[in-house]
Amino acid sequence: MISGGVDIGGTKIEARLFSDDLTTTEVHRVSTPRDHLDGFMEALADQVRWLEERSGAGGKLPVGIALPGLIDTRTGRAFTSNLPVNGHDIGALLAGLVGRRLPFMNDCNAFALSEANNGAGEGFQVVVGLIMGTGIGAGLSVAGRMTRRFNESALEVGHVGVPARTLGSLDLPLWPCGCGKMGCFEQYVSGSGLARLGALKLRRPVRAEEIVASALAGDPESNTVVSQWAQITAELLLLIQLTQDPDCIVIGGGLSGIPGIIEHLDKPFQNIRLGEMHMPVVRIAVHGDSSGARGAALMAARVAP
Ligand SMILES: [Zn+2]
């Protein structure tokens, strides 16, 4: 069955049309209206209409929507950052514009679902998709499907605190996080986190890309920074293992492009393994930027009548 997915991001709303084997056939992007709810909802509805028209299936096309954040399963209200939709029932508003109810899902869960189906997590039972980019988030797919959970939220591991043992051994300060707490993983292992670690070590502002490039070129201080980043990220993998016990962790987002990232993480992850637990396979995502739309399209096709 052909299907459509819409991936809502902070800068663009992307619509993708998929063939019956979930290969992208067409993409349409518009910038995300961030000031007003009405403009945002119109842009979202236009993307749904574009999919309906391009597919030739009209209102019969399964269309799923991925968004950063969550929709309260009891009230329908959305909670996200950077979008003008907080507290609004965007499912009902969209239905008013396009004439039918469409399923929504968290974009990290969409990523995990997409990679578990003909992606890097294909053939594994419990797949955690870990997105490492400007932020840190994760999603979960079991047996190739979504699991119903209390809030239908992502795995918000970016806002768990880095263990004291790690901050202590690396002599790192507690950095404040946008969520209001101190010492969250996101502040150390996201793109800006890597830059922050670099600035502390090099005593000047530095971009994450620059640290990675210098480390590759053999600069000892930059290599130390990448090693610190890998040790903290290994603690994040351990947190995922101890709480979710996946057999596969798929890494996506901008930082998954760090050359040799799997090798960087392997040793520090092995060093902190708990007892004789079997280690999950850690892989790089294969579906790239299409994850959110692809996962949402897959979900929509499965719930379609
Ligand atoms: Zn936080």
Residue 280 pLDDT level (bands cut at 50, 70, 90) = very high
For residue 81, the model assigns a pLDDT of 78
The answer to the question of residue 156 being in a domain is yes
CA distance 165 to 283: 27
Give distance in angstroms: CA of 158 to centre of ligand 1.
6
The answer to the question of residue 86 being in a domain is yes
Shared domain check, 38 and 187? no
Shared domain check, 204 and 126? yes
The answer to the question of residue 57 being in a domain is yes
pLDDT of residue 73 exceeding 90, the answer is no
Structure tokens at 146: 């979504």
Give the whole-number percent of the chain exceeding pLDDT 70: 100
Pairing of the two strands 78-79 and 70-71: antiparallel
Mean pLDDT, residues 9-38 taken together: 96
Shared domain check, 279 and 293? no
Give distance in angstroms: CA of 2 to centre of ligand 1.
39
Shared domain check, 137 and 15? no
Give distance in angstroms: CA of 150 to centre of ligand 1.
21
pLDDT of residue 71 exceeding 90, the answer is no
Range(s) of the domain holding residue 157? 122-285
Shared domain check, 84 and 180? no
Shared domain check, 89 and 184? no
CA distance 262 to 278: 17
For residue 303, the model assigns a pLDDT of 87
CB under 5 Å of ion ligand 1: residues: 159, 177, 179, 184
The answer to the question of residue 116 being in a domain is no
pLDDT of residue 305 exceeding 80, the answer is no
Shared domain check, 65 and 149? no
pLDDT of residue 76 exceeding 90, the answer is no
For residue 164, the model assigns a pLDDT of 97
Give distance in angstroms: CA of 300 to centre of ligand 1.
31
For residue 264, the model assigns a pLDDT of 95
Give distance in angstroms: CA of 208 to centre of ligand 1.
20
The answer to the question of residue 117 being in a domain is no
Give distance in angstroms: CA of 207 to centre of ligand 1.
21
Residue 129 pLDDT level (bands cut at 50, 70, 90) = very high
The answer to the question of residue 14 being in a domain is yes
Arithmetic mean of pLDDT over the chain: 95
CA distance 164 to 106: 30
Mean pLDDT, residues 146-161 taken together: 90
Give distance in angstroms: CA of 41 to centre of ligand 1.
28
Give distance in angstroms: CA of 186 to centre of ligand 1.
7
Domain count, the chain: 2
Give distance in angstroms: CA of 8 to centre of ligand 1.
22
pLDDT of residue 221 exceeding 80, the answer is yes
Shared domain check, 262 and 129? yes
Q: Convert the pLDDT of each residue in 89-102 to its tens digit.
A: 999 999 999 999 99
Shared domain check, 229 and 142? yes
Shared domain check, 205 and 163? yes
| Residue 154 belongs to domain with CATH number | 3.30.420.40
Task: Give every strand in the sheet of 126-132, ordered side by side.
Answer: 136-142, 126-132, 248-252, 281-284
For residue 111, the model assigns a pLDDT of 97
The answer to the question of residue 115 being in a domain is no
Mean pLDDT, residues 190-202 taken together: 97
Give distance in angstroms: CA of 136 to centre of ligand 1.
10
The answer to the question of residue 240 being in a domain is yes
Which residues does 180 contact at the CB level (< 8 Å), separation at least 6?
Answer: none
CA distance 228 to 225: 5
Mean pLDDT, residues 110-137 taken together: 97
Give distance in angstroms: CA of 252 to centre of ligand 1.
20
Mean pLDDT, residues 33-50 taken together: 97
Q: Distance from first CA to last CA of the chain, Å, rounded? A: 12
Give distance in angstroms: CA of 265 to centre of ligand 1.
22
Shared domain check, 126 and 230? yes
Shared domain check, 182 and 44? no
Give distance in angstroms: CA of 178 to centre of ligand 1.
6
For residue 149, the model assigns a pLDDT of 84
